[in-house]
Amino acid sequence: MIEFERIHHVSLAVRDLEKARKFYSEVLHFQEIERPPIATKGVWYSVGDQQLHLLEHPSGETLRESGIDLADGHFAVWVKSYKSTIEYLEKSGIPYEARPQSVVGFAQIYILDVDHNVIEFGAAYGS
């Protein structure tokens, strides 16, 4: 039996690494971390105790062109404040889909990155 401890990282394909880096570093303010000298082009971020890895793949077939599809793959980041996150997204002009009373037991906000990868922000109800 495998004894799981936690998710270590999520990797996403991006078409333009510098465009994606700007979004994650400058808009969402993720903390970039050192990346080993591996063959693929990419950027790594620290997200709490886990990591997000962006991998440049200009012709990637997993990248979508459409809007938020909640049945599609995504990664989720827990945030301290639902209200503050909504305010920041609105101030930054980032479209989102909000579910303040989601049936999953916590509030959810969904956005798309520059390559239309789905990102979920989760928060406690009323935060």
| Interval 62-84: pLDDT, tens | 666 777 776 677 888 899 999 99
What pLDDT does residue 102 have?
Answer: 85
Residue 62 is assigned to a structural domain of this protein: yes
Domains contained in the chain, number? 1
Residue 4 is assigned to a structural domain of this protein: no
Residue 84 is assigned to a structural domain of this protein: yes
Tell me the C-alpha distance between 80 and 5, whole Å: 23
Residues (pLDDT < 70) of the chain are: 2, 4, 60-64, 70-71
Residue 1 is assigned to a structural domain of this protein: no
* DSSP run (H or E) holding 18: helix 17-21
Please state, in angstroms and as integers, the Cα–Cα distance from residue 28 to each residue in 60, 79, 95, following that order: 23, 12, 13
What pLDDT does residue 83 have?
Answer: 94
Tell me the C-alpha distance between 33 and 73, whole Å: 24
What pLDDT does residue 58 have?
Answer: 79
**41: domain CATH number?**
3.10.180.10
Domain that holds residue 118: 9-123
What pLDDT does residue 67 have?
Answer: 75
What pLDDT does residue 36 have?
Answer: 85
Residue 98 is assigned to a structural domain of this protein: yes
